[in-house]
Amino acid sequence: MTELLNWVDLGPVDNIPLQGARTYQTETDRIAVFRTVDGEVFALVDRCPHKDGPLAQGIVHGHFVTCPLHNMVFSLETGEAQGAEDGCARKVESRIVDGKVRIGLTSSQMGAINAG
Amino acid sequence: MTKIPASKDPALLQGRRPRLVVIGNGMAGMRTVEELLTRAPGKYDITVFGAEPRVNYNRIMLSPLLSGEKNFDDIVINGQDWYEENGITLQSGDPVVDIDRANKTVTAESGLAVSYDRLLLATGSMPIVIPIAGKDLPGVVTFRDVDDVDVMLKAAESGGRAVVIGGGLLGLEAAVGLQARGMKVTVLHLAGHVMERQLDASAGYLLQQELGRRGIEVITEADTREITGDEHVTGVWLKDGRHLDASLVVMAVGIRPNGWLADRAGLSVERGIVVDDFMTTSDPAVKAVGECVQHRGQCYGLVAPLFEMAKSCADHLAELESDGYPGSVTSTKLKVTGVDVFSAGDFSGGDEVEEIVFRDAGRGIYKRIVLEEGRIKGAVLYGDTADGAWYFQMLKDATDVGELRDTLAFGQAFAGGSVGNPRDAVAALPDDAEICGCNGICKGTIVAAINEQGLSSLDDVRAHTKASASCGSCSGLVENLLAVTLGGEFEADAAKPICPCTDHDHDTVRRLIKAQGLKSMAAVMQALEWKTADGCHSCRPALNYYLLAAWPGDYVDHGASRFINERVHANIQKDGTYSVVPRMWGGLTNPKELRALADVADKFDIPTMKVTGGQRIDLLGVKKEDLPAVWADLNAAGMVSGHAYGKSLRTVKTCVGQEWCRFGTQMSMSMGVELEQMTWGSWMPHKFKMAVSGCPRNCAEATIKDFGVIATEGGWDLHVGGNGGMHVRATELLCKVKTREEVKEYCCAFIQLYREEARYLERTAPWIERVGLKHVQERVVDDADNRAALYVRFLKSQETSQRDPWAERVKESVDAHEFSFLQAAE
Ligand SMILES: Cc1cc2nc3c(=O)[nH]c(=O)nc-3n(C[C@H](O)[C@H](O)[C@H](O)COP(=O)(O)OP(=O)(O)OC[C@H]3O[C@@H](n4cnc5c(N)ncnc54)[C@H](O)[C@@H]3O)c2cc1C
Ligand code: SF4
Ligand code: SF4
Ligand code: FES
């Protein structure tokens, strides 16, 4: 069963540096929003499945990010760890609409907003 | 089969060793001497005259020297010690000007006269200079020796346009080299297509297009009328009235065997010095090898035949039975990275011959094989030259290819039915297949050497068989042979690439950044053919450092290629918070600083304060978004970032020294402060730590630092290469100096050498273990000029790097995006 997503507008894509990331705090999780060298935007929950490393602080290369704590590499497209390691960072849906970044949050992530 | 009867030898009659004088210290002459030494060591008393003021080097490698892929040390074949070890007297920089055959003496320009029993002429060729106005102007060069390359490199430093006259092998290599050095290059070529002697029109066209894509302009059917300029070349006039501006003109229109000396001595000289199959000239006491000779009517301009001549000449000089030199069939390859061209034999076509042509326009591949009576007569390959050796072997063997005819163009893998795996292809070759064209070495010889002499690396094979030691284009084949022969034991020992994004190793990338004037990450990745869009976490920080070190003040630091610590100038900790360490110069502090630290810790709820191993105070557990405010408060108290997170100068630890200590012989605290103020902010291959002790009791533990200073009665001991990390390593003594000024100069020079030579993430300890302390001493201690130059370069790069990164982030909002969260739009 696919959950209905709530699309949140995070402002112009230019606010996120190329080959970099910024974070957005939801009720339950911090979300890392990445912008890759080719201008695409991806989002993952900002927590490395290895030891909770803040993925948004890593180096972004191609469609990958390297965790700043122990250098595990994750695909931004799927969240999956690359190479021998296994593990998966939680993927968050994202898109660019009219030059603005939108991410799709679940109801629990929206938490307070829905409640309020 | 002729043989010199020993009984008639005047030297032997006089009971001394016969004297062999060699004129020409080049590739053919020295190869003959090498071959002679293996056949009959100590037989002759050898003297070598060389016109060039240097040892024997690999002339083929002048092109990589020009483009920056190699430096002079890499291309030396036999260094000074080789001459000494083998008792050879080398008179370099002293050309022979006269041969007196009647008295058997040669006289050099310096007046030195030496008698010989046997004389060997190996004077090579002279580049042809077209006799037009302006040919002698400064800025007009040929392409023959290291001096020519030096002139070109000098010209390239100031940019501008180079005109290369001649679109043959040498001209194109010069053009590509100069372009790599940052010049605009135009090639003028008289014929209708480039390399017309080796390539047919189709392959020439493809090559010219490729050169065009690389920004090298080629004008064919261009006849040069005149070179213009008064004091220095300014341009070139073509006969059709076109004029091209130029600050450098390279003439590469051909070579002529250098036979004037022989001619003057009355030897028989036609196009070249005439020799028989034993390389003997018209005078039995005089031999000749190399490009200067004419053998069975042929003159050669490639090393493979010269090396065969060398063998036959050495046999004869060693008085061994031999069949003599029968002449050679040659093949050619262009040594330009990324351009694959191969040609061999005669491919001019005609009525009698049959041609097989294969074109794949999409992949830029062209192959043409010329057959005569079912045998290969010539081959031209462009774009895919992997099968060059195979065709060439069949050409030389005159193999009947009738049965292969239909699939011949697809190459060996197809014909042999084996898969396209290079190892299998090598395994399938017969033992007499030639692997190294330059040295004429076949598979069986290499395999035997590997097995019998226990060779396990490319270098070993080069040293023992000479295979791949000349132009190097067969290195891949040799490595595959090693792999096939040794099986699982073999690991290619080629320098390791930085990471999977590239085939280049660290040192090559550094050299090319400088040589090709690459000034941005994108330029490096483009020019060096990176395999990924924007690298990865391994290569990007390394490139960022190399660019920063190569172009201080010029290159703009690329934040997204730095590890988070260096991006935000604080240390990331295991819970995602940060730690902050301000500088305490030389480990000194004062009440005001301590009060500021205490206030900051209170104000931002900083949970832990700790004294570090480098005599500073660490504030641990700072939230990222609080960092700018923490820095602002610390800056207000006069404190700046300690770079505790960076690949840069960290700390300078000191003892209390002569300032307070009853044993102190020098002022170690102020020395430490001065060193730190001079060197802080400098980015390095890895973290860098220093210490200063005021006497040999060494309370500051200077002997486990990257640079340690220990005061003595009379001055200072300077130590380097210590490491307290996972592999503890004590320093080695670099040298002793007298004054404080010297301590500083040596310190900066050492750091700069490390910055310029070490690989990224290589600390001083492994670096020194790799290159040897002697290497460092030679550059920093023994060579005062080099030390001064390093010192100046270090200070120069400090001019732009000593800015407090905390202040930049607080006051100039550098990287402001780092410290705030994204907000949802209303
Ligand atoms: C830039 C460049 C690239 C090349 N690339 C290739 C390649 O890829 N493959 C290939 O097979 N070949 C290549 N060659 C050709 C190859 O280098 C020559 O064929 C080879 O060096 C010739 O050897 P040699 O000993 O006959 O002459 P040299 O190596 O030129 O040696 C002759 C020496 O004699 C000295 N000499 C001359 N006169 C006197 C005198 N009177 N007294 C004392 N010394 C004297 C000269 O100074 C010179 O050092 C290249 C050549 C150049 C210049
Ligand atoms: S090293 Fe010497 S000068 Fe420095 S504190 Fe120790 S005893 Fe004193
Ligand atoms: S030694 Fe360094 S890396 Fe290891 S736990 Fe201590 S602080 Fe961390
Ligand atoms: S926490 Fe990400 S790799 Fe260890």
B699 lines ligand 2 (CB under 6 A): yes
| A50 at B interface, C-beta within 8 A | no
Quickly list H helices, B330-420. Answer: 388-397, 412-415
* C-alpha closest to that of B466 among B694, B267, B638, B307: B307
Q: Which helix (H) or strand (E) holds B526?
A: helix B521-527
pLDDT at B406: 75
Name the residue of A67, A86, A88 whose CB sits within 8 Å of the most ligand 4 atoms, as the mutation to test its pocket: A67
Tell me if B779 sits within 8 A of B753, measured CB to CB. yes
B661 lines ligand 2 (CB under 6 A): yes
Q: How far apart are CA B535 and CA B544, in angstroms?
A: 11
Residues lining ligand 4, Cβ inside 6 A: A 48, 50-53, 67, 69-70, 72
Q: How far apart are CA B234 and CA A21, in angstroms?
A: 52
* C-alpha closest to that of A20 among A39, A34, A40, A10: A34
Task: Tell which wins on pLDDT, B231 or B12.
Answer: B231
pLDDT at B202: 83
- B303 C-alpha to center of ligand 1: Å? 9
| A9 at B interface, C-beta within 8 A | yes
Kindly report, residue by residue over B110-155, the tens digit of the pLDDT: 999 999 999 999 999 999 999 999 999 999 999 999 999 999 999 9
pLDDT at B5: 47
Work out the average pLDDT over B41-46.
94
- A115 C-alpha to center of ligand 1: Å? 85
Quickly list H helices, B214-265. Answer: 260-264
| Predicted confidence (pLDDT) at residue B587 exceeds the cutoff of 60 | yes
Q: Which atom of ligand 1 is nearest to the CA of B59?
A: 17
* C-alpha closest to that of B122 among B138, B106, B142: B106
Q: Could you tell me which chain A residue has the CA closest to the CA of B535?
A: A61
pLDDT at B729: 92
| Predicted confidence (pLDDT) at residue B3 exceeds the cutoff of 50 | no
Name the residue of B32, B59, B299 whose CB sits within 8 Å of the most ligand 1 atoms, as the mutation to test its pocket: B59
Kindly report, residue by residue over B150-203, the tens digit of the pLDDT: 999 999 998 899 999 999 889 999 999 999 888 999 999 999 999 888 888 888
* C-alpha closest to that of B216 among B25, B67, B435, B407: B67
pLDDT at B16: 83
| A91 at B interface, C-beta within 8 A | no
Tell me if B10 sits within 8 A of B103, measured CB to CB. no
Residue type at position B355: E
B29 lines ligand 1 (CB under 6 A): yes
* Helix/strand number for chain A, H first, E second: 2, 9
The residue written with tokens 């040390």 in the block is B73
B242 lines ligand 2 (CB under 6 A): no
pLDDT at B735: 97
Q: How far apart are CA B597 and CA B424, in angstroms?
A: 68
Work out the average pLDDT over A70-90.
87
| Predicted confidence (pLDDT) at residue B495 exceeds the cutoff of 80 | no
The residue written with tokens 């039995």 in the block is B284
Quickly list H helices, B290-376. Answer: 303-317
Q: How confident is the model at residue B393 (pLDDT cuts 50, 70, 90)?
A: confident
Mean pLDDT of chain B: 90
Quickly list H helices, B657-813. Answer: 657-660, 668-679, 740-757, 764-771, 773-777, 784-801, 805-811
Q: Could you tell me which chain A residue has the CA closest to the CA of B822?
A: A24
pLDDT at B421: 60
Residue type at position B193: H
Instruction: Measure CA B419 to chain center.
Output: 35
DSSP state of B406: G
B28 lines ligand 1 (CB under 6 A): yes
| B761 at A interface, C-beta within 8 A | no
| Predicted confidence (pLDDT) at residue B630 exceeds the cutoff of 90 | yes
Q: In DSSP terms, which residues pair with A25 in a beta bridge?
A: A30
Q: Over the Cα atoms of chain A, what is R_g?
A: 14
Kindly report, residue by residue over B258-267, the tens digit of the pLDDT: 999 999 999 9
B423-426: which pairs have CB atoms within 8 A and are 24 or more residues apart? Answer: B423/B480, B423/B483, B423/B484, B425/B480, B426/B477, B426/B480, B426/B481, B426/B484
Q: How far apart are CA B549 and CA A52, in angstroms?
A: 35
Phi, psi of B475 (to 5 degrees): -55, -40
Q: Which helix (H) or strand (E) holds B452?
A: helix B443-453
Q: How confident is the model at residue A85 (pLDDT cuts 50, 70, 90)?
A: low
Quick check: B563 and A59 CB within 8 A? yes
Q: How confident is the model at residue B678 (pLDDT cuts 50, 70, 90)?
A: very high
pLDDT at A2: 62
The residue written with tokens 């799927």 in the block is A78
Work out the average pLDDT over B673-679.
97
Buried b (16+ CB within 10 A) or exposed e, B375-394: ebbbbbbbbbbbbbbbbbbb
Task: Tell which wins on pLDDT, B472 or B584.
Answer: B584
pLDDT at B475: 77
**Which ligand is in closest contact with the Cα of B711?**
2
Q: Which helix (H) or strand (E) holds B162?
A: strand B161-165
Question: Chain B contacts of A76, Cβ < 8 Å?
Answer: none
pLDDT at B614: 93
Question: Chain B contacts of A69, Cβ < 8 Å?
Answer: 572, 574
| B824 at A interface, C-beta within 8 A | yes
Phi, psi of B774 (to 5 degrees): -60, -40
Kindly report, residue by residue over B515-567, the tens digit of the pLDDT: 888 999 999 998 888 888 899 999 999 999 999 999 998 999 999 999 999 99
Q: How far apart are CA B206 and CA B340, in angstroms?
A: 11
Q: How far apart are CA A70 and CA A83, in angstroms?
A: 14
- B613 C-alpha to center of ligand 3: Å? 11
Phi, psi of B764 (to 5 degrees): -65, -35
The residue written with tokens 């076949």 in the block is B442
Name the residue of B697, B713, B719 whose CB sits within 8 Å of the most ligand 2 atoms, as the mutation to test its pocket: B697
CA distance A77 to chain B (A): 16
B143 lines ligand 1 (CB under 6 A): yes
Kindly report, residue by residue over B334-386, the tens digit of the pLDDT: 877 777 888 888 776 667 778 888 877 667 788 888 888 888 988 888 888 87
% of chain B beyond a pLDDT of 90 = 66
Work out the average pLDDT over B10-19.
76
HSE toward the beta carbon, residue A116, CA cutoff 13 A: 5
| B560 at A interface, C-beta within 8 A | yes
Question: Chain A contacts of B819, Cβ < 8 Å?
Answer: none
pLDDT at B100: 96
SS3 B594: helix
The residue written with tokens 């990450």 in the block is B521
Quick check: B534 and A62 CB within 8 A? yes
Distances (CA, A) of B228 to B30, B224, B479, B759: 40, 11, 50, 46
